[in-house]
């Protein structure tokens, strides 16, 4: 069986080394190479590879964000210079990784695992959860990526005004526009800095810097009026969390 592979790394030398090592593997066919995450998302949709060698640290879109945006179910080998904290996350997710710099022997070990995985049926790699697990203490994302058809939107965290739960999706509101992302609001809350984002309602998460004022609404609830004019409901418990966050800030 031929393994169709894609190489994704912003370093030409890294892709060249992988290409050279893989030329010795008779059952591996390189169907595409990409130097950035945007091209990788398109190439994976076009070529539908079995395997991706995916660099974690890339500009524009990193390796985790690429996985968030693809629909394909493929085996991933991370190529990374990440620290040992992230290594534990990769191991826990039952994916392999190549720690730069690596040699041909280490690559062969990874391919042995790939061949076994391709013969099995397992749960799909959850990119959002993996990215959170690989994040070090006190580290928070600087952007959120959303796929809308063939387009990819990148929302800087500071421009995310609020998020609204819609079943297994969240509507992300930024700059007067709304973007739908397949993620629960609880998962989104866990991924954001609690000093900047607060769950003010079971269905709403709000950016503290975007609050203009808080107004009474009913006996047990309030409304947060945002600088852009949006009104977000605040429950009694949410108001307590909001007060605590503002006092800490």
Residues 19 and 128 in one domain: yes
pLDDT band at 235 (very low <50, low <70, confident <90, very high): very high
Q: Which candidate, 37, 34, 35, 33, places its Cα nearest to that of 61?
A: 37
More reliable by pLDDT, 125 or 96: 96
**Whether 149 and 36 share a structural domain:** no
Percent of the chain whose pLDDT exceeds 70: 90
Q: Do residue 105 and residue 155 come from a single domain? A: no
Same domain, 202 and 244: yes
Q: Which residue has the tokens 């006092």?
A: 247
Residue holding tokens 């007060």? Answer: 243
Instruction: Give buried/exposed letters for 138-151 (b at 16+ CB in 10 A, else e).
Output: eeebebbbbbeeee
Strands (E) in the chain, as ranges, are 3-8, 28-34, 51-55, 75-80, 96-99, 143-148, 151-156, 162-166, 169-174, 177-181, 197-201, 204-207, 211-216, 222-226, 231-234
DSSP string, 131-190: HHHHSPTT---SEEEEEETTEEEEEEGGG--EEEEETTEEEEEETTEEEEESS-HHHHHH
Domain count of the fold of the chain:
2
- Mean of the per-residue pLDDT values for the chain? 90
Mark whether 55 and 90 lie in a shared domain: yes
CA dist., res. 80 & res. 98, Å (int): 6
Q: What confidence category does residue 172 fall into, taking pLDDT thresholds of 50, 70 and 90? A: very high
pTM for the model? 0.83
63 shares its domain with 16:
yes
- From residue 120, alpha-carbon distances to 106, 113, 229 in Å are 22, 11, 51
Range of lowest pLDDT (20-29, 42-51, 75-84, 150-159)? 75-84
pLDDT of 146: 95
**148 lies in which domain range?**
143-248
Name the residue with tokens 């994976």: 44
pLDDT digits (tens, 9 = 90+) for 66-109: 988 987 778 889 888 876 656 666 665 656 888 889 999 999 99
158 shares its domain with 129? no
- 184 and 77 inside one domain: no
CATH of the domain at 22: 3.40.50.2300
On whether both 116 and 213 belong to a single domain, the answer is no
What residues contact residue 11 under an 8 Å CB cut-off, 6+ apart? 55
Q: Which of 103, 134, 165 is the last residue of a domain?
A: 134
Claim to verify: residue 154 and residue 104 sit in the same structural domain: no
Q: Which of 57-66, 81-90, 102-111, 115-124 has the highest mean pLDDT?
A: 102-111
Query: pLDDT, tens digit, for every residue of 133-143?
Result: 777 777 898 99
CATH of the domain at 236: 2.40.50.1020
Task: End-to-end CA distance of the chain: give it in Å, rounded.
Answer: 58
Which of 111, 134, 157 is the endpoint of a domain?
134
Half-sphere exposure of 163 (CA within 13 A, CB side): 31
Of residues 123 and 207, the one with the higher pLDDT is 207
Give the domain-ending residue among 134, 161, 193.
134
Same domain, 124 and 104: yes
Residues 31, 49 within the same domain: yes
């Amino acid at each position: 069986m031929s393994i169709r592979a894609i190489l994704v790394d912003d370093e030409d030398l890294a892709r060249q080394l992988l290409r050279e090592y893989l030329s010795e593997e008779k059952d591996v066919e390189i169907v595409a190479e990409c130097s950035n995450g945007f091209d990788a998302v398109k190439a994976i949709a076009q070529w539908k590879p079995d395997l991706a060698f995916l660099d974690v640290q890339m500009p524009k879109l990193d390796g985790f964000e690429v996985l968030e945006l693809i629909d394909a179910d493929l085996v991933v080998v991370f190529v990374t210079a990440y620290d040992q904290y992230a290594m534990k996350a990769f191991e826990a997710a039952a994916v392999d990784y190549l720690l730069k710099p690596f040699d041909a022997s280490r690559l062969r070990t990874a391919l042995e695992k790939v061949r076994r995985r391709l013969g099995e049926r397992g749960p799909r790699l959850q990119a959002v959860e993996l990215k959170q697990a690989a994040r070090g203490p006190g580290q928070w994302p600087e952007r959120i990526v959303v796929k809308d058809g063939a387009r990819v939107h990148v929302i800087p965290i500071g421009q995310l005004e609020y998020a609204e739960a819609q079943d297994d999706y969240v509507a992300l509101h930024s700059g007067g526009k709304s973007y739908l992302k397949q993620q629960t609001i609880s998962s989104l809350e866990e991924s954001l800095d609690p000093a900047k984002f607060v769950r003010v309602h079971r269905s709403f998460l709000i950016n503290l810097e975007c609050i203009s004022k808080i107004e009474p609404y009913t006996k047990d609830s309030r409304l947060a009026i945002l600088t852009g004019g949006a009104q977000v409901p605040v429950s009694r418990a949410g108001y307590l969390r909001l007060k605590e966050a503002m006092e800490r800030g």
